[in-house]
Amino acid sequence: MLVTKSLFSLIIVALLGPRAAGAQQASPAVFAGCFEVEIGPWSGPFPSGMPAGHQPPPVVRLDTILLTDFSWRKGDRRLTPGILALEQHRKWSPSWKLSPAGDTVKMTWTDKYVGTTLTLTGTGERLTGLAQAFHDVRGPVQPHATVVLTRRMCPDALARESAR
């Protein structure tokens, strides 16, 4: 019986994550603001043939404004700026989302065919994780890179962008 109760407790903690262990869930406001992006070397070439379409901007702003352009984007928030090489054909706004557990930030830039996703963990001051390139052709191995985001003051252009 003791083994069954212990096993049940472990399953609950695994399913509920940090909240089951008493950790506080972070809110999007903790991560809102500007960050400098430092991306490491990519693991290989870009099968999309469009390297510039996979390079995150050097400074990004995570806004708390929810995006409402598509119904499937529940919880997605505004991320600026976009990747310049994707702007001409962009179908979706860049976005970021906080995981339900409040411990992972996911940022995505895409024109619907080519893009990059950053999956990050950390505090509101420093986030670390992985950049993953993608495009709409299945099969080729997509490159990845390590990434570090460090909070910084927002440049004037990004501060004005958030006022829109």
Identify the domain containing residue 39 by its residue range: 23-162
What is the rounded CA–CA span in Å between residue 68 and residue 137?
A: 27
The answer to whether residue 136 sits within a structural domain is yes
pTM: 0.79
The answer to whether residue 15 sits within a structural domain is no
Asked if pLDDT for residue 18 goes beyond 50, the answer is no
Q: What confidence score (pLDDT) does residue 26 get?
A: 77
Asked if pLDDT for residue 9 goes beyond 70, the answer is no
| Residue pointed to by tokens 């004005």 | 160
The answer to whether residue 143 sits within a structural domain is yes
The answer to whether residue 2 sits within a structural domain is no
Q: What confidence score (pLDDT) does residue 54 get?
A: 95
Asked if pLDDT for residue 23 goes beyond 60, the answer is no
Asked if pLDDT for residue 57 goes beyond 60, the answer is yes
The answer to whether residue 79 sits within a structural domain is yes
Asked if pLDDT for residue 119 goes beyond 80, the answer is yes
pLDDT band (50, 70, 90) for residue 16: very low
The answer to whether residue 42 sits within a structural domain is yes
Burial code (b: 16+ CB inside 10 Å, e: under 16) for 17-56 equals beeeeeeeebebebbbbbbebebeebeeebbbebeebbbb
What percentage of the chain reaches a pLDDT higher than 90? Answer: 54
Select the more confidently predicted residue: 68 or 121.
121
User: How many structural domains does the chain have?
Assistant: 1
Strands 114-122 and 126-135: antiparallel
Q: What confidence score (pLDDT) does residue 84 get?
A: 84
> What Å distances lie between residue 153 and 2, 18, 59, 95, 164, CA to CA?
53, 30, 10, 20, 18
Q: What confidence score (pLDDT) does residue 72 get?
A: 63
The whole-chain average pLDDT of the chain stands at: 82
pLDDT band (50, 70, 90) for residue 10: very low
The answer to whether residue 4 sits within a structural domain is no
Environment class of 153 (CB within 10 Å of its CB; exposed 0-12, middle 13-18, buried 19+)? exposed
Q: What confidence score (pLDDT) does residue 38 get?
A: 98
Per residue in 32-51, pLDDT tens? 999 999 999 999 999 999 99
The answer to whether residue 7 sits within a structural domain is no
